[in-house]
Amino acid sequence: MYTIREAQTNFSKLLRKAARGEEVIIARGKTPVAKLVAVPTQKKKRVPSKQRSAAPHPHPSLKIG
């Protein structure tokens, strides 16, 4: 548990601890008031592009031939 002053002084170090999965408790005096934890990473879902196709279709206004 870290006091507010300790947390301010060592904020970068506490962020690294949280990023590694540790919970960091910050207290006002002896009373815990906050918990610093890592944000879970989310993988982006892959969505097939509508632009890709085996044979692209020409624009209807284009005349071929």
Tell me the pLDDT tens digit for each residue of 29-48: 999 999 999 988 877 777 77
Ranking 21-25, 44-48, 54-58 by mean pLDDT, the lowest is 54-58
Query: Between 48 and 4, whose confidence is greater?
Result: 4
Q: Tell me the C-alpha to C-alpha distance, in Å, between residue 42 and each of 5, 23, 39, 45.
A: 32, 19, 9, 9
Query: Alpha-carbon distance 33 to 5, whole Å?
Result: 13
pLDDT band, residue 2 (cuts 50/70/90):
very high
**Per-residue pLDDT averaged across 42-56, rounded?**
68
pLDDT, position 55: 63
| Secondary structure letter of residue 51 according to DSSP | S
pTM of the complete model: 0.59
